[in-house]
Amino acid sequence: MPTDMSSTLSIQDSSAAASVPPQPKRSSLLGDDFAPVCFTFLASLGFLDLLISCISKWYRPDTAYLIRKGTELVIPAVARTLAPEPVERLQYVLGLLLTPLFLFACLLGLKRLYRATPEAGRRIYTWVATTLLLAGTFATPVLTYHALDKSDFLYVRASLLFTHWLAYTLLFFPSLALLVYFAHKRWILWVGRVALYTLSTYIAVIAFFSVLFDRDSISPWTHHLNSVIYPLAQVMAGKTLLVDCAPLYGLYPHFLQPLFKIFPLGVYSLTLVMASLLVVCLAGVWLFLRMVTRNRFVFLAGFTAVAFYSYVAPKTVRPKVFGDPYFQYWPIRVLFPSLLLALASLYLRGFGKRWIYYAGFLCSALATLWNPDTGLVVFGTWFLLLAYTELFRNSWRASARPILWHALTAVGALLLVYGGYALFAFLRSGVWPDWRMSANYYKIFSYYGLVMLPMAPLPHVWGIMVAAYVAAMVVAIHGLLRKENELLCGSLFILAILGAGLFGYYNGRSHDFCIIPLLYVPLLIITLLADHLFVRLKQGDRACYKCLPLGLLFFYLCASAVPSVFAAGELSQFKGWIQAGSSVSIDGSRGTHTRNIKFIRAQTKRGERIFIFLRGNIEGVYYAESGTASVLDLPSSTDSFFKSDTEKIVNFLRQNKSTKLFVVPGQYAGLDASFKRYRIAAREGQTGMVMLLPAEDAVPAGIPTHSELERDP
Per-residue model confidence (pLDDT) at position 320: 53
Do residues 258 and 187 make contact, with C-beta atoms less than 8 angstroms apart?
no
Q: What tens digit of pLDDT does each residue of 537-556 get?
A: 777 777 777 788 888 888 88
Residue 404 reports pLDDT greater than 60: yes
At 92, phi and psi to the nearest 5? -65, -45
Cβ atoms 374, 339 nearer than 8 A: no
Q: Is 322 a residue whose pLDDT tops 70? A: no
Instruction: Select, from the ranges 346-350, 441-445, 692-696, 706-710, the one with the highest average predicted confidence (pLDDT).
Output: 346-350
Q: What is the pLDDT of residue 6?
A: 37
Burial class (CB in 10 A: 0-12, 13-18, 19+), 65: exposed
The pLDDT assigned to 502 comes to: 95
φ, ψ of residue 249 in degrees (nearest 5): -110, 20
The pLDDT value recorded for residue 16 is: 36
Kindly list the distances between the CA atom of residue 145 and the CA atoms of 153, 159, 511, in Å, as whole numbers in the listed order: 10, 13, 18
Give me the phi and psi of 250, to 5 degrees please. 105, -175
Give the pLDDT band (50/70/90) at residue 346: very high
Angle at 643 between CA 640 and CA 647, to 5 degrees: 100
336 versus 222: which is more confidently predicted? 336
Q: The dihedral of CA 107, 518, 229, 287: what is its sign?
A: positive
Phi/psi at 630 (nearest 5 deg)?
A: -70, 135
Where is average pLDDT lowest: 133-137, 341-345, 423-427, 628-632?
A: 133-137
Q: Angle of helix 296-307 relative to helix 173-181, nearest 10 degrees?
A: 140
* Residue range 641-679, pLDDT digits in tens: 888 888 888 888 888 888 999 988 765 545 544 567 788
Q: Do the Cβ atoms of 661 and 611 come closer than 8 Å?
A: yes
Give the Cα separation of 491 and 348 in Å (integer).
Answer: 8
Question: What distance in Å separates the CA atoms of residue 144 and residue 683, rounded to the nearest whole number?
Answer: 58
Query: CA–CA separation, 49 vs 57, rounded Å?
Result: 12
- How far from 468 is each of 199, 379, 464, 521, 561, CA to CA, in Å? 26, 22, 6, 9, 19
Cβ neighbours of residue 26 closer than 8 Å, sequence gap 6 or more:
485, 487, 488, 535
Provide the residue ranges of all domains of the chain, joining segments of one domain with +: 22-211+242-574, 592-711
Phi and psi of 609, rounded to 5°? -90, 120
3-class state of residue 679 by DSSP: strand
Residue 388 has a pLDDT of: 95
Look at residue 677 in the predicted model and tell me its pLDDT. 78
- Each residue of 259-277: pLDDT tens digit? 998 888 988 899 999 999 9
- Read off the DSSP letter of residue 456: P
Work out whether the CA dihedral 118, 101, 509, 617 comes out positive or negative: negative
Helix (H) or strand (E) holding 91: helix 86-115
**Peptide bond connecting 694 to the previous residue in cis, omega within 30 degrees of 0:** no
Q: Measured between alpha carbons, how far is 528 from 505 in angstroms, rounded to an integer? A: 24
> Taking 60 as the threshold, does the pLDDT of residue 147 lie above it?
yes
Helices then strands (H, E): number in the chain? Answer: 33, 5
pTM: 0.89
Please give the average per-residue pLDDT across 40-54, as a whole number. Answer: 93
340 burial via Cβ count (<10 Å: 0-12, 13-18, 19+)? buried
- Cβ neighbours of residue 368 under 8 Å, at least 6 residues apart? 375, 376, 378, 379, 414, 417
